[in-house]
A = this chain, B = another copy of it.
Amino acid sequence: MLPRIETLIDLALDEDAAFGDVTSESIFAPEHTSNAHINAVQELTVCGIEVARRVFHRVDPALEVKVTCHDGEQVKKGQTVLRASGSTISLLLAERTALNFLQRLSGVATLSRRFADAARRTGTGVRVVDTRKTTPGWRALEKYAVRCGGCHNHRLSLGEHVLIKDNHIAAVGSIRQAVTLARAAAPHGAKIEVEAASLAEVRAAIKAGAEIILLDNMSPRQIKSAVSLIDRVAMVEVSGGVSLETLADYALPGVDVISVGALTHSAPAVDLSMTLTASRK
């Protein structure tokens, strides 16, 4: 497991159980064992199942954990996604942390799945992608959940992909100048994307040689005009308040990508719960 995910698991256990679990430790002997099931309380696209497994093992390497689904799988209401058995105190100590990872990551995957399905229904081949509007500390996990839900990732960080926005253009004077500077300095493997809020800016971006043009907060009508101006010399990205309801209006022919911040910043949690049963051993 990548080190950054372990860091997040450790932070989570530390904030919930730095001093252990007073309730369970008062009630159960260390040798008391149980079986636990984590079930989906609603239909959902599961994500985070290996993280949950790792939470149980981090708390107690002696727990036996069996994963019964895989990330990205569509899970029915009531379906078991993970079984664990061993020390009752360990199972209860890990419960909430494991569920907190699952409910959030599956929440992102479930919303992404709905967007991916909506995109597929448009038949235009458009991709729905996420943004950098992620929960601090969770970038890699949330971007992974987006992929598990069938959507795609936009740039991961500030480091590689060049995205020239209104603030850059205003400060440097012109789109042409910004693109020229970026091309000279940025790695040869970095694509250069330019944000455009008007058709004039679209024209400037084309002329400057942008490889991707981001149409920012344009209406479907404006997008149509922009797409025909661009005429396939650059990739077309649409951004700005697109919802599940309005996606089809923006997924016009020639639009390659629609970016949706809500995939990561406003996905509601989905509901999963853990149940203990007596251990037969």
Contacts and interface: CB of A to CB of B under 8 A. Distances in A.
Interface of A: 2-4, 7-28, 32, 34, 58-59, 88, 92-93, 96-97, 99-101, 103-104, 107, 127, 129, 132-140, 143-144, 147, 152-164, 167-168, 170-172, 178, 181-182, 184-191, 193, 212, 235, 237, 256-257, 261-262, 265-266, 268-269, 274-276, 278
A161 B138 CA distance: 21
Given A159-B19, A212-B189, A27 B135 contact: no
B3 A162 contact: no
A168 B27 contact: yes
Given A23-B168, A27-B178, A191 B189 contact: yes
A20 B158 contact: yes
A10 to B, nearest CB: 4
A135 B138 contact: yes
A100 B23 contact: no
Contact of A15 (B4, B168, B186): B4
A113 B209 CA distance: 29
A155 B18 contact: no
A12 to B, nearest CB: 3
Contacts of A140: 15, 18-20
A171 B32 CA distance: 9
For this chain, the copies found in one complex come to 6
A184 B125 CA distance: 11
Contact of A188 (B127, B261, B274): B127
A186 B190 CA distance: 14
Given A8-B136, A17-B159, A262-B268, 12 more contacts: A3-B11, A4-B11, A4-B18, A16-B132, A23-B158, A23-B162, A26-B184, A26-B185, A27-B171, A93-B158, A152-B188, A188-B256
13 contacts: A12-B136, A15-B18, A17-B157, A22-B182, A23-B163, A32-B171, A103-B265, A133-B269, A135-B135, A152-B187, A161-B187, A167-B274, A266-B268
Contacts of A144: 20
A182 B97 CA distance: 22
Contacts of A28: 171-172
A168 B19 contact: no
Nearest to A60: B1
Which of A26, A28, A140, A266 has the largest count of B CB atoms less than 10 A from its CB? A26
A14 B2 contact: yes
A269 B17 CA distance: 27
